[in-house]
Homo-oligomer: A and B are copies of this chain.
Amino acid sequence: MEPKRRGRPPQVDAEEVARTAVRMFVDRGFDDVTMDDVAREMGVNRRTLFRYFPSKNELVWGGSAEALERVHRGLRDVTPERDPFRAAQDAYVRSLVFPEEALEVTRQRLVLIASSEALSAFGVAHREKIRQAIATFLVDRGGFEGNSLEVTMRSAALVDGGHAAMLWWARFGEGPPAALVEKALGLQGEVRAL
């Protein structure tokens, strides 16, 4: 008798599915693992898997909506007396705080993203949404003109710099990434000050 393996299909734990899929992609290559492979490995049926994750990209980038929402929330919570640039940077860096148990899969996700053009493309669109959220905040709170070169460059520096730092962390970093990203954004500054 194996009651746990019989009867109705097991409940789907979306996070666990994504975590397993990411590990399969890392081990065997993103292009060489199909949605069917993931479904089989997790013992869920194909339709169920597609309901949770409409594409393979989503298995890797599934947390992107939450990441954007964390940035939005952080920006909404900024008190009016704060310097808008510093506050935007803080809100962005705080969005990169992950629970301890999510660190390893976050690292694997970043390695995958750097290795696949399809995943990179999704990332470009994702970062552009975060950049726009920050740009809107700078316009609303900092009194800058929308679409000005200044707002564009400052928001892009934060998001692109943060991404570069996260990729570095995924390859070489130890411990959680937020403090490293903050330090890295500071290093970027020294270039420009030349």
Contacts and interface: CB of A to CB of B under 8 A. Distances in A.
A147 interface: yes
A33 to B, nearest CB: 19
A117 interface: yes
Task: Count the copies.
Answer: 2
A192 B117 CA distance: 30
Interface stretch (A3-11, A62-70, A148-156): A148-156
B147 A172 contact: yes
Contacts of A83: 194
B160 A164 contact: yes
Contacts of A1: none
Contacts of A152: 164-165, 167-168, 184
A157 interface: yes
Interface string A162-187: 00110110011000000010011111
Binding site secondary structure of chain A:
helix
Contacts of A153: 161, 164-165, 168, 184-185, 187-188, 191
B121 A149 contact: no
B191 A189 contact: yes
16 contacts: A83-B194, A89-B191, A89-B194, A118-B121, A147-B172, A149-B183, A150-B187, A153-B165, A156-B161, A157-B160, A157-B188, A157-B191, A160-B160, A160-B161, A188-B188, A189-B189
A165 B85 CA distance: 19
Interface residues of A, number: 42
Contacts of A117: 121-122, 124-125
Contacts of A171: 147
A145 to B, nearest CB: 11
